[in-house]
């Protein structure tokens, strides 16, 4: 594998290729293949399949296939070498090659540190019950037997269901167990469904806003993916990563770390990164970095589109034939005049403001001449694939941010063509294999994934038009019984951690909380009952790929060692509870966990993927790759909405008009009926993807004398996926938690690189080391998300959880989490110790 090494240029400019620093980041991410020569500072490239790259392993050790299943977007095979009943070494995938569609699936630094996760001191060793007379969070526990634990869970579950109704039962979102076929959130759902059902949730923390709003734009009840990176490599001339950072958010070598690097190596494919932060993706991949203020993407796009239409650079035929509502002549009947998007940017809409590049510059901070040049580049460098990450939509105006990025692809006419795209996240071939069956939920009511804290506090007051409740007009009950399985939502991954902690400590609200995990998280501290799950290394499972481009795969996960301490696989935990609840036979159907793995493989996976071998052969192979077109994988690279583009009459979209709805009549009607009693700035539904200024947004931050003048965002971190792996010492040592702050903001506060700073607002305070760097724009700071909280006696967090500072207030349509809409102040606490 040859690597071109060139330095990062001055003031954030980038030359094509990988800098030495960036290549070190990339090589660490994909898990091997390079070495740093001592004293020389040069990298030695090695073929990925070589013994030096993969490691020879331990002679005569037993090697067992397993996987890292955290929610990074990939899933990676691990080869666990076992000596005397203990995992002695973790090796990466040794199948595949370096080709685009046959690549090795090399685990990153997180999965390669699996031994510390298995054997670390953070493991939950036995069932724990909160001691009588203590409060949640006091940290006083009694060890109990599995029989007593199962009995307690079942008793409290059935009591709450009988007293308050099944709507009072809830399994809170947790992504740590989403990503294997059997040890998944379906285990809890199956139990609840067998005892009458539970309150459910829609969407997820990753992409709540785009996952909800896409239905109104493209008629798809989830996000609408764009073309794949592989398709851009084959056919594209321009790739725009809009708030999209595959080098850090999806570090697996089998996923978008690999394919995005291949895109950067592709001659004639220009790459632009739009992000307030000069991410590793900008450093490694980009020809250009454009940095708008957080939450202002829709304004930037309005300025771009205004320049396009003023110079007749839009694809007008596509807009006329495939879209509704860009111009007045394609508006739905009966709608008042001048509500189209064209009227909005021309200043004919209700606000009367022309959305010129100069207007956009004032809001976004991107110079008007950059906006104009970017518009021309987009129009003249086709086909162009605009792929948005999930950062832009994680704002208080996130629904409009997501739709605006979709809209830019529409205006350029790039939907449904090779090399183009829809403006969604990079496309992929979704795995054909299936998850453990949860059964049908008899309860119709559901809430936003982010709404569970409100449903604990005042669930019976939550309605469809005020809180986004679905299935019923009003919830009949508050949440009274809650289980957290494989997540850390109760402590660090939800918002306003301090207020949430006080809510959960109030036993008159949620009456029983059970946390099931293999690590003693901050969420476990707030439980009444804590049950020890195993790691993947100690159980059977079948692990699918997810967002890995045009190569799908399945990984075998076989127990490498016996369950440590007194832990049990999640399946066995819920089967034991089901037995106590009187539904044991229905839950297990007479199968053990291994028997379920074999049953699902032979009866569901192999019929769906005929190329899969028999189970015993698969145990030896470990990984199986497959494609949309097994005979010609390259022919199957993902082109989103191709059939719609080829024949929109025969293949209409799921919108009321069957077309792309730039103006949504459904959203227009909702804007007339939905309630926003809090009266917060930005709580507004718009029928077109216009820019909406919000509470704690860019405008508020720049007000003279603003109390909290810094916009705080939270990027993904190399040491962990969300909060998973966040307690591992080696991971934290390699990538420790720091706040990113621009030199201009640091200088104004007397802050130097390496100092300890306080980050605070009305919701809380965090103290952490600062990294002063021009890689983030002035007026913005970034505190990597997912850090484990370390409260002191004064309620200050020293672990670096950005959610100590974020708000519980949801977005207008999705009622989703908007953790990137946060204003703070930063101050010096103490000087650092750097030389």
Reply yes or no on whether the pLDDT at 15 is more than 50.
Answer: no
DSSP string, 558-610: --SSPPPTT-B-HHHHHHHHHHHTT-HHHHHTT--HHHHHHHHIIIIIHHHST
**Torsion angle of the four alpha carbons 161, 162, 164, 165, in this order, in degrees rounded to the nearest 10:** 60
Closest C-alpha to 304, from 243, 359, 384, 375:
375
Neighbours of 754 (CB within 10 A): 15
Neighbours of 649 (CB within 10 A): 7
Contacts of 162 (CB under 8 A, 6+ apart): none
Q: For residue 125, what pLDDT is reported? A: 98
Write phi, then psi, for 63 (nearest 5 degrees). -110, 125
Q: For residue 55, what pLDDT is reported? A: 52
DSSP string, 409-466: HHHTT-TTSTT---SSSPP-------PPP--------EEETT-HHHHHHHGGG-BHHH
Neighbours of 196 (CB within 10 A): 16
Q: For residue 833, what pLDDT is reported? A: 67
Cβ–Cβ under 8 Å, residues 1 and 104: no
Q: What is the mean pLDDT of the chain?
A: 92
Q: For residue 56, what pLDDT is reported? A: 61
The tens digit of pLDDT for each residue in 517-553 reads 999 999 999 999 999 999 999 999 999 998 999 999 9
Distance of CA 189 to the CA centre of its chain: 22
d(CA 306, CA 300): 10
d(CA 438, CA 440): 7
d(CA 264, CA 262): 5
Q: For residue 546, what pLDDT is reported? A: 87
| Residue 154 Cα distances to 136, 160, 192, 813, angstroms | 20, 10, 10, 36
What the block records as the tokens of 11 is 């003031």
Mean of the pLDDT values across residues 465-471? Answer: 98
Q: For residue 23, what pLDDT is reported? A: 31
Reply yes or no on whether the pLDDT at 12 is more than 90.
Answer: no
Left (φ > 0), alpha (ψ -120 to 50) or beta: where does 750 sit? left
**pLDDT top residue among 735 and 36:** 735
Cβ–Cβ under 8 Å, residues 645 and 651: no
Q: For residue 32, what pLDDT is reported? A: 31
Q: For residue 818, what pLDDT is reported? A: 96
Reply yes or no on whether the pLDDT at 247 is more than 50.
Answer: yes
Contacts of 729 (CB under 8 A, 6+ apart): 116, 120
Contacts of 592 (CB under 8 A, 6+ apart): none
The tens digit of pLDDT for each residue in 557-575 reads 999 999 999 999 999 999 9
The tens digit of pLDDT for each residue in 354-382 reads 999 999 999 999 999 999 999 999 999 99
Reply yes or no on whether the pLDDT at 19 is more than 60.
Answer: no
Quote the strand ranges of 512-565, DSSP E: 512-517, 529-532, 541-544, 552-557
Q: Work out the percent of the chain whose per-residue pLDDT is above 70.
A: 93
Mean of the pLDDT values across residues 820-826? Answer: 98
**pLDDT top residue among 2 and 281:** 281
The residues with which 513 forms a beta bridge, in sequence order, are 482
Reply yes or no on whether the pLDDT at 651 is more than 80.
Answer: yes
Q: For residue 677, what pLDDT is reported? A: 93
The residues with which 290 forms a beta bridge, in sequence order, are 274
The structural domains of the chain, ordered by start, are 1-56 (no CATH), 57-120+540-565+610-627 (3.30.200.210), 128-206+433-533+568-590 (3.40.50.740), 209-424+641-673 (3.40.228.10), 698-830 (2.40.40.20)
What the block records as the tokens of 620 is 């030896």
| Residue 149 Cα distances to 146, 195, 592, angstroms | 5, 18, 20
Reply yes or no on whether the pLDDT at 579 is more than 90.
Answer: yes
635: confidence class by pLDDT, cuts 50, 70, 90:
confident
Reply yes or no on whether the pLDDT at 6 is more than 70.
Answer: no
The tens digit of pLDDT for each residue in 29-87 reads 333 322 222 222 222 222 333 333 345 688 889 999 999 998 888 889 999 999 999 99
Q: For residue 74, what pLDDT is reported? A: 83
779: confidence class by pLDDT, cuts 50, 70, 90:
very high
Place of tokens 């069932």: 127
Q: What is the 3-state secondary structure (H, E, C) of 769-807?
A: EEEECCCECCCEEECCCCCCCCECCCCCECCCCHHHCCC
- Residues 350, 402, 332: CA angle, nearest 5 degrees: 45
d(CA 412, CA 406): 10
Reply yes or no on whether the pLDDT at 112 is more than 80.
Answer: yes
DSSP string, 4-44: -B----GGG---SSB-HHHHHHHHHHHT-SEEEPTTT--EE
Neighbours of 729 (CB within 10 A): 12
Cβ–Cβ under 8 Å, residues 391 and 782: no
Neighbours of 697 (CB within 10 A): 23
d(CA 603, CA 599): 6
The tens digit of pLDDT for each residue in 209-244 reads 999 999 999 999 999 999 999 999 999 999 999 999
Closest C-alpha to 298, from 367, 212, 368, 398:
398
The tens digit of pLDDT for each residue in 402-411 reads 999 999 999 9
Q: For residue 12, with 0-12 CB atoms within 10 Å meaning exposed, 13-18 middle and 19 or more buried, which class applies? A: middle
d(CA 819, CA 806): 6
Segment among 183-187, 252-256, 691-695 with least mean pLDDT: 252-256
Reply yes or no on whether the pLDDT at 482 is more than 60.
Answer: yes
What the block records as the tokens of 538 is 């100690």
Cβ–Cβ under 8 Å, residues 378 and 384: yes
The tens digit of pLDDT for each residue in 263-307 reads 999 999 999 999 999 999 999 999 999 999 999 999 999 999 999
d(CA 536, CA 518): 10
| pTM recorded for the entire structure | 0.92
Three-class DSSP category at 309: helix
Cβ–Cβ under 8 Å, residues 57 and 532: no
Rg for the chain, CA atoms, rounded: 26
**Torsion angle of the four alpha carbons 443, 447, 450, 452, in this order, in degrees rounded to the nearest 10:** -60
d(CA 682, CA 280): 31
The residues with which 201 forms a beta bridge, in sequence order, are 447
């Amino acid at each position: 594998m040859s690597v071109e090494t060139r330095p990062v240029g001055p003031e954030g400019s980038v030359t094509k290729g990988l800098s030495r620093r960036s290549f070190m980041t990339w090589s660490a991410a994909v898990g091997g293949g390079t070495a740093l020569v001592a004293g020389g500072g040069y990298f030695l490239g090695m073929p990925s399949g070589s013994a030096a790259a993969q490691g020879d392993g331990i002679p005569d050790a037993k090697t067992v296939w397993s996987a890292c299943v955290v929610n990074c977007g990939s899933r990676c095979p691990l080869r666990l070498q076992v000596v005397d009943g203990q995992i002695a070494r973790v090796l990466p995938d040794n199948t595949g090659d370096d080709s685009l569609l046959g690549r090795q699936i090399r685990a990153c630094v997180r999965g390669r540190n699996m031994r510390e996760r298995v054997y670390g001191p953070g493991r939950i060793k036995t069932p724990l019950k909160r001691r009588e007379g203590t409060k949640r969070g006091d940290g006083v526990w009694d060890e109990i037997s599995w029989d007593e634990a199962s009995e307690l869970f079942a008793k409290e579950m059935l009591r709450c269901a009988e007293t308050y109704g099944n709507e009072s039962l809830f399994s809170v979102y947790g992504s740590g167990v989403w990503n294997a076929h059997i040890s998944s959130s379906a285990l809890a759902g199956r139990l609840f469904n067998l005892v009458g059902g539970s309150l459910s949730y829609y969407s997820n923390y990753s992409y709540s806003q785009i996952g909800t709003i896409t239905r109104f734009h493209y008629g798809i009840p989830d996000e609408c993916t764009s073309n794949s990176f592989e398709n851009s490599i084959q056919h594209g001339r321009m790739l725009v990563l809009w708030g999209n950072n595959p080098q850090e958010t999806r570090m697996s070598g089998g996923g978008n770390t690999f394919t995005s690097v291949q895109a950067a190596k592709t001659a004639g494919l220009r790459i632009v990164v739009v992000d307030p932060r000069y991410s590793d993706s900008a450093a490694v991949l980009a020809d250009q970095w454009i940095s708008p203020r957080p939450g202002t993407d829709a304004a930037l796009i309005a300025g771009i589109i205004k320049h396009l239409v003023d110079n007749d650079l839009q694809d007008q035929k596509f807009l006329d034939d495939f879209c509704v509502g860009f111009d007045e002549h394609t508006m739905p009947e009966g709608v008042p005049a001048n509500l189209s998007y064209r009227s909005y940017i021309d200043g004919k809409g209700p606000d009367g403001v022309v959305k010129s590049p100069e207007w956009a510059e004032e809001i976004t901070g991107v110079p008007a001449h950059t906006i104009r040049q970017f518009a021309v580049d987009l129009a003249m460098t086709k086909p162009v694939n605009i792929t948005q990450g999930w950062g832009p939509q994680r704002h208080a105006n996130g629904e409009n941010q997501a739709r605006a990025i979709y809209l830019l692809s529409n205006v350029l006419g790039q939907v449904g063509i090779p090399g183009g795209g829809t403006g969604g996240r990079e496309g992929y071939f979704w795995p054909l294999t299936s998850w453990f069956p949860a059964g049908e939920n008899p309860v119709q009511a559901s809430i936003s994934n982010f709404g569970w804290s409100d449903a604990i506090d005042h669930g019976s007051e939550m309605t469809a038009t005020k809180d986004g409740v679905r299935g019923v007009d009003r919830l009949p009950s508050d949440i009274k019984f809650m289980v957290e399985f494989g997540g850390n939502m109760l402590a660090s991954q939800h918002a306003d951690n301090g207020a949430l902690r006080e809510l959960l400590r109030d036993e008159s609200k949620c009456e029983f909380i059970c946390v099931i995990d293999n690590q003693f998280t901050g969420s476990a501290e707030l439980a009444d009952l804590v049950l020890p799950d195993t790691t993947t290394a100690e159980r059977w499972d079948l692990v699918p790929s997810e967002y890995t481009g045009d190569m799908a795969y399945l990984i075998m996960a076989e127990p490498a060692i016996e369950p440590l301490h007194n832990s049990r696989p999640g399946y066995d935990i819920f089967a034991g509870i089901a037995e106590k609840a009187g539904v044991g036979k229905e839950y297990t159907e007479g199968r053990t966990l291994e028997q379920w793995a074999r049953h699902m493989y032979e009866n569901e996976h192999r019929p769906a993927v005929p190329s899969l071998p028999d189970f015993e052969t698969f145990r030896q192979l470990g990984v199986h790759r497959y494609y949309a077109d097994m005979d010609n994988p390259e022919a199957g690279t993902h082109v989103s909405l191709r059939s719609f583009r080829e024949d929109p009459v025969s293949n209409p979209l799921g919108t009321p008009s069957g077309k792309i709805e730039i103006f949504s009549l459904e959203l227009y009607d909702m804007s007339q009926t939905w309630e926003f009693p809090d009266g917060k700035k930005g709580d507004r539904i718009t029928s077109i993807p216009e820019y909406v200024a919000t509470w704690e947004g860019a405008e508020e931050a720049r007000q003279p004398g603003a109390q909290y003048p810094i916009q705080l965002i939270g990027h993904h971190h190399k040491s962990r996926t969300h909060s998973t792996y966040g307690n591992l010492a080696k991971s934290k040592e390699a990538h420790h938690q720091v706040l990113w702050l621009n030199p201009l903001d640091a200088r104004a506060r007397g802050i130097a690189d390496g100092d300890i700073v306080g980050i605070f607002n009305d919701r809380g305070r965090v103290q952490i080391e600062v990294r002063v760097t021009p890689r983030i724009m002035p007026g913005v700071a970034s505190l990597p998300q997912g850090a484990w909280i370390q409260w002191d006696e004064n309620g200050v967090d020293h672990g670096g959880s950005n959610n100590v500072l974020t708000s519980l207030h949801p977005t207008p349509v999705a009622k989703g989490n908007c953790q990137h809409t946060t204003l703070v102040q930063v101050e010096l606490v103490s000087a650092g110790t750097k030389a």
